Each structure stands twice: as structure tokens, then as C-alpha cells.
Amino acid sequence: MTVSRGWCPTLSTPMSSGDGLLLRIRPALSRLDATVARRLAAAAARHGNGVIELTTRGNLQVRGFSDVSAAAFADEMEAAGLSWRRHAPMVSPLADGDPACAPETLGLAVAVEAALADDPALDGLAPKFAVLVDGDGQMPMASVAADIALRAAGQDWRIEAGGAATLCGADAASEMVRRLARAALALGIRPQGAPGCGEALFQAAGWPARAFEPMPAPPPVAVGRLPARAFGIGLPPGQLDAALLTRLAELAEGLGDGTLRLTPWRALLLAGLSDQAEPALRRALTGQLTDPDDPRLRVASCIGGPGCASGSVPAAADARLLAAVLPAMPPGGLALHVSGCAKGCAHPEPAAVTLVGRDGLYDLVEHGRAGDTPVRRGLMVEAAAALLQAAARPEARA
């Protein structure tokens, strides 16, 4: 089995990490059948260390494998029908249950994946190349960036790449995505990382488009009772274990439509629930994050050390401790980012407070990114907690 370092891992090409090999799974249509989810959970615990992560791309990562156990896990997942769907787009998680979501959303996602997968010229497309099909509706994905995004716009679809956009019909959209992906490959650019490239990209794809200024949009509330008979379970910092995934799969089978929906917002959703399901769900999920006002939702973190070899602090564990000292606040904003090192993988954007691991201690950045200049250096986690508590007092906020 090939081991890749420093780039996007897949099911067949694991990445070396601090706690062994890491594999990534991208299911079709951003959803997992509950039966498959149970098999995945059992195999992750049997072959790896049982840690399962939901990424900000809505992919699943499993950790703690050896060469031999990674191959065994990959074989079991292939047998369960779960593979790395390299060209599968992210898709609106409630597309089939939300009457306000564009009805062609799922069909379009299938067509886009097929159009990309069937074109041998796209074999060289980076595994990280991200395509999004956003049917809007009650859980819009306006906050989610992608290399190429298709967003429902009335009767049409708006296709965006590299800071340019144009409208097209659903019947032309998948071919347009394919041509744009080809153009990106030919020009050697990833549109998401090159916001000014859009007009040239569309021109190379043979389709005129106009530059636009993306409007920042907050992520939707994805925790607790949701529209379209759905319910969200928050997973900051994106981690769950095999036992929780098994329990959620059983709840999806017993109370929902038998699927788990993967989101890019650190939350898994159950869908197709009856009106009576919520009390039973809340009882079964006591202690889990199901309240949209829970301060744990305002904290982002990576795994840190020892899971990641670059982290000198246990960022995920410390984030859980620090979340306990944050005040309750309305849904929406991010209060704290705990990063294992200055790379800031979990949250590349600025946060109100960012704690950055360095030599086993934390540096503190205010209103900035993990790589920005800190205002305090060398803090133990207890000292960082004290600073957060002091900042949360009413007199400090007045």
C-alpha cells in the first residue's frame, strides 16, 4: 500500500500521522447508509484506534492504522460498497427532504460525479479539488467554499469558480463543471486558492463569465431540531468514536430513514424523522451536543499532538477543556480556535481568539489566524483558560 505524506489521503493511499496511518473516505451524495456506518465503525475500532473524524469537507477520516491493518480496513470498506469517491461533490445534506431545496440537486450531483469520473483527462485532478452542489433551501451551503460550486438560483444554476460566475441550466451544468475542471488542470490552478483566476478559467472552458465579490455567509445551525424532519448532532472538533457512530447508525435505522448525512459544519444529521422522534433521540443522546447554544460549538480545533506529528499540544483535548469556560452565546460566531501548530488546519480564517501550540505551550493571537503574530506567548492551558474566563466577565465585555 502506498503511503502519502503531506497531501490528501484516500482509502487506498493512507497518510502517515502521529498516531499511525490515516485514511479518508468520501461517500457518494454526502451520506452514509446506516448498515455501512455500523460496518465502518466496527472496522475502525478493530483495525485502527477507533477515532473517526468528520472533516470540513464532509469527508470521514479514520486513524491509527498500520500498513497491514490499513489494507484490511480498505478491503472491508470496498466490500461494504464504500470507496473513496474521488469526484463526488459535496451536496446539500437535506436535498431529498427539504421542499425548498432545488429538486434536481441530487440528480445533478450524480451527473457531476459521472462527468468528472468518465473523463480520463481528469485523472490528474488533485484529490483535494472540491466541487459543491448547493440546492439552497432551508440549509443553504453559501458558507462553503469550493473549487467549482453549483448553486441553485431560481430556475437556473449559478456556476462559480475562482471568483467568477455565470448562470446555466441544470441540463448543461455537469458538462460545464467538467470543462472548468479540465481548464483548471490545463492552467495548473486550483480555483479556490486563486480567487482572481475565474474569468480566464471560464474563457478557457469556452463560456463567458463575470467576476464577482463573494459575500461572506455564516454557516447554518446544524445542531438540534432542524427543518425537513432532520436532527443534528454537533461533533466539535469534528471527532467521534466507533461507539457513537454505531449508536447514531442504530438511531437512524430505528427513528429515521436509515441514513446519516455528512455536513461540512462538524455535525452529522439524521433525516426522515417522525414528529414523535425527538424526545427519544434526546434521551438516547444525553451528553452529546444537541443544543445550538452550546458553547462547544464556538470552538474549532485540530487533533493536535500526538495524533498529528506537527502538534506539540493536545489541541482537541484542550479545546474540550477550554469550551467549558466559554460563556453561552447565540449560534453563529466562532469564539476560539485551538490549533496544534501555526498551520491552523482546522480553521484557516481569523477567530476572536486563537491559541497556537508551540513547544508544548500556547501562544495567543487576538482577532487573527494561527500564523499571525501573538499578543501573549508561552501559556499553559490553565493560564489560557483563566484569560478566557476573565475576558468573558461582564465588566471585561462592557
What residues from 290 to 319 belong to the interface with ligand SF4 (CB under 6 A)?
A: 302-304, 308, 310-311, 315
For residues 179 and 194, give the distance between their C-alpha atoms in angstroms, rounded to a whole number.
18
What phi and psi values does residue 32 have, to the nearest 5 degrees? -125, 130
Binding of ligand SF4 by 343 (CB under 6 A): yes
Binding of ligand SF4 by 374 (CB under 6 A): no
What residues from 121 to 160 belong to the interface with ligand SF4 (CB under 6 A)?
A: none
Residue from the set 252, 341, 351, 365 that interacts with ligand SF4 by CB under 6 A = 341
Binding of ligand SF4 by 340 (CB under 6 A): yes
Q: How many residues does the chain have?
A: 398
User: All 3 cell numbers of residue 375?
Assistant: 499578543
Binding of ligand SF4 by 339 (CB under 6 A): yes
The CA-CA-CA angle for residues 140, 145, 151, to 5°, reads: 45
Binding of ligand SF4 by 15 (CB under 6 A): no
What residues from 63 to 92 belong to the interface with ligand SF4 (CB under 6 A)?
A: none
Residue from the set 173, 205, 270, 345 that interacts with ligand SF4 by CB under 6 A = 345
Binding-site size, ligand SF4 (CB under 6 A): 13
* Minimum CB–partner distance for residue 13 and ligand SF4 (Å): 18
The CA-CA-CA angle for residues 345, 309, 53, to 5°, reads: 50
Q: Which CB sits closer to ligand SF4, 302 or 385? A: 302
* Minimum CB–partner distance for residue 368 and ligand SF4 (Å): 15
Binding of ligand SF4 by 344 (CB under 6 A): yes
* Minimum CB–partner distance for residue 303 and ligand SF4 (Å): 6
Q: Which CB sits closer to ligand SF4, 230 or 303? A: 303
Residue nearest ligand SF4, CB atom distance: 340
* Minimum CB–partner distance for residue 358 and ligand SF4 (Å): 10
* Minimum CB–partner distance for residue 360 and ligand SF4 (Å): 12
Q: Which CB sits closer to ligand SF4, 166 or 312? A: 312
What residues from 191 to 230 belong to the interface with ligand SF4 (CB under 6 A)?
A: none
Binding mask 255-294 for ligand SF4 (x = CB under 6 A): ----------------------------------------
* Minimum CB–partner distance for residue 345 and ligand SF4 (Å): 3
Q: Which CB sits closer to ligand SF4, 138 or 310? A: 310
Q: Which CB sits closer to ligand SF4, 234 or 304? A: 304
Q: Which CB sits closer to ligand SF4, 140 or 311? A: 311
- 275, 369, 370 from 348: Cα distances, Å: 39, 7, 8
* Minimum CB–partner distance for residue 70 and ligand SF4 (Å): 19
* Footprint of ligand SF4 (CB under 6 A): 302-304, 308, 310-311, 315, 339-341, 343-345
